[in-house]
Structure 1
Amino acid sequence: MLPVLLTLLIVLLNVGGVASILLQFGHGEWSPAMRSTALLLGLDVVGLWLLRRLREPG
């Protein structure tokens, strides 16, 4: 159950993050958009690492 919820959280985080980044780039806000991109990638790495740890046996 927990891996399913974590997967859903990662997907929703990416959808919202990409929308936010596109809006920031659309308004010409390059610096905040780059920071949001770095934060999104960092959270993806942490989320995928946690997901892998949850799926390992033992």
Structure 2
Amino acid sequence: MTLRLQAMELVVKRLNKEGFFTLNQLRNFVCIVVEVMPPEAINRAIALRLLQQ
């Protein structure tokens, strides 16, 4: 598993533990973007691609 996927999985687990995902809330309306640091141009392209789906 790539570092980005591991980071996204960790974020979702933390948000779930904090109650971000309430009962009957659709996760389809949540977008979590993991970016490369230092910032690269691809970060913006990935975020825009995810938001268009």
For the aligned pair, the TM-score class normalised by the smaller chain equals 0.3 to 0.5
Higher relative contact order (CA 8 A, sep 6+): 1
Normalised by the length of structure 2, the TM-score is: 0.39
Larger Rg: 1 or 2? 1
